[in-house]
Chain A
Amino acid sequence: MRNWLPVLLLIALLCGLCAAMPVLEPLFRGLQPDKARVIYQRESLFFLLGHHLMLVAVSAAVATLVAVAAGIFATRPSGRDFLPLVSQVASIGQTFPPVAVLALAVPVLGFGEAPILFALMLYGLLPILRNTLAGLEGLDPTVREAALGMGMSPWQVLCQVELPLAGRVILAGIRTSVTINIATAAIGSTIGARTLGDPVIAGLVNGNTAYVLQGAILIGLLALAADSLFEALERAWGAGVAIANK
């Protein structure tokens, strides 16, 4: 339970801020005295938060499925030939800036959610793929040999031995992916997706620092909440593995 306390606190703070941003008006007024409005009210912050989360969750789910499947495939005897290629893609792709992906996707997919979803998936895939490969390749080969040698089928070895043992590393990859994508998703506001980046962009366009700050705080809190959620998940992942890794 102690593991989950920070997560709950951060989520409570996030929701609290979304609901009660107007209460902080005096604070933001001090920051930006020259503007008539200092609290972003064009759209409900809950709506933006929900949308932002949806974009990240959908892209993370797809990226996880694809990356884990590709990682598993590349480490099977039948897919071994692709392993160098897959691991190169995983490491090179990471050096590609997300804005560039967006710029390339817009002409093809148009404005709105589609290009940002595409960019998030592509970008979120890489850390997961890299960690899936590292996790599966890093297993003690004697464990795999024993598992097969004792008569487990390749499928049983994968589900009962390899994935549980590599799970923490894969989970760490998903954590990196999600945290990065919570920040990256905000860029979606520049091409018409509704996200917590909206107040930031509006603030930048109108020279309203208070708006920028409100968006940034919420995005930061969301990233922190997600990060601590994954930290708690990693801790909860099998006491045995934790002991084995000591």
Chain B
Amino acid sequence: MIELKNVTRRFGDTVAVDGIDLAIETGEVCVLVGSSGCGKSTTLRMINRLLPHSSGEIRVDGKDITTLNPERLRLNMGYVIQGTGLFPHWTVARNIALVPRLLKWPQARVDARVRELMTLLDLDPDTYANKYPAQLSGGQAQRVGVARALAADPNILLMDEPFGALDAITRENLQLEMLRIQRQVRKTTVFVTHDIDEALKLATRIAVMDQGRIVQHDTPENILRHPASEFVENLVGKQDRGLKLMSLRPVRELMTAHARPRPATPGADALGEDDSLREALSVMLCRNLTQLPVCNGRGEETGVIARERIIRDGV
């Protein structure tokens, strides 16, 4: 659990973070969104004490962080930095092994962990373990950055635009990976982004920041349904809030389930149970269909979803 109470950070005369209160529950993904320069990175850096706060109080698991040893504090907080920050003179494997080695794990355990993480993040250990960061693509480097942060299994993850500067497809893949990893290993996560769709997709709760203040802190659904101000309303997109709400709900919630799974019709368009209502509607509109079969992870058809139903109950 991370608590910020009336935390302020000044740089000379500019107030980067202005008296914010924020509580992040254990196991929750809190996403900080806001336009450039609103104080997101500053907030993150104060949590791991890379920047001291000018006033206020920050507690991690009940302990005031200024009373803790900064290195000890950071070793338990995975940090993914805006722009990877990989060490150019170390191989991928050594970069990932950074924190385990600082914690003096035995070499065999370090090696096993590195392989495990590379596999988890879809980087073939045999191909990439001995490459240098300069030999990776942007997306691969960001994966290594995420793997490095996860390496010693910290309780807390701080991620500063970890998927920034990536093409839409790679970004989407990494987001899905992150959701999958989060389901496997629940970590208290503070995730910074300025992409509202990314925030809606990943967040348990979203904190919208504007000029150093938190203007709304709520679940994605509530942010969409009841934006607290004009600023939030513009941020989430006035016009397509309906579609964004649909993108929060999986097809499973509105489908008409079959009594028992049946084999899928080969070649037909089908949705997954976890696909969003927005995707379902989009496919139907595109193909001019009134309903679509829904399949589970094993490829069996478990139900159908109707266009009428989505339009009636989707939002």
Residue positions of A touching B, CB distance < 8 A = 140, 142-143, 145-153, 156, 161, 164-165, 238, 240-241, 243-244, 246
Name the A residues within 8 Å of B45 (CB-CB).
Answer: 149
A183 to B75, CA, bound (A): 51
Contact yes or no, A143 B87, CB < 8 A: yes
Contact A240 B71 (CB under 8 A): no
Question: With A145-B81, A145-B85, A164-B89 given, is the CB distance from A152 to B71 under 8 Å?
Answer: yes
Is B148 in contact with A165, judged by CB distance below 8 angstroms?
no
Residues of A within 8 A of B91 (CB): 240
Q: Could you tell me the distance between the alpha carbons of A238 and B87 in the complex, rounded to whole angstroms? A: 13
| B90 pairs with A240, CB closer than 8 A | yes
Sampled A-B contacts (30; CB under 8 Å): A142-B83, A143-B87, A143-B88, A146-B84, A146-B87, A147-B87, A149-B50, A149-B74, A150-B148, A150-B149, A151-B71, A151-B74, A151-B75, A151-B99, A151-B102, A152-B98, A152-B102, A156-B102, A161-B89, A165-B87, A165-B88, A165-B89, A238-B89, A240-B90, A240-B91, A240-B132, A243-B88, A243-B134, A243-B135, A244-B89
User: Which residue on A lies nearest to B73, using beta carbons?
Assistant: A151
CB distance from A26 to the nearest CB of B (A): 54
User: Dominant SS at the B interface?
Assistant: mixed
From residue A3, how far is it (CB to closest CB) to chain B in Å? 19
Given the complex, which residues of B lie within 8 Å of A149, measured CB to CB? 45, 48, 50, 74, 79, 81, 85, 158
Q: Which residue of B lies closest to A241 (CB)?
A: B89
Does B42 lie at the interface of the complex (its beta carbon under 8 Å from any beta carbon of A)? Answer: no
Across the two chains, which residue of chain B brings its CB closest to A243?
B132
- Which residue, B82, B84, B87, B132, has most C-beta atoms of chain A within 10 A? B87
Closest Cβ of chain A: how far from B24's Cβ, in Å? 18
Which chain B residue shows the least CB distance to A153? Answer: B71
B281 at interface by CB-CB < 8 Å: no
Per-position contact with A for B165-194: 1 when CB-CB < 8 Å, else 0?
A: 000000000000000000000000000000
Q: Determine if A146 and B86 form an interchain contact, defined as CB atoms under 8 angstroms apart.
A: yes
Complex CA distance for A238 and B134, rounded to whole angstroms: 14
CA distance A43 to B86 in the complex (A): 57
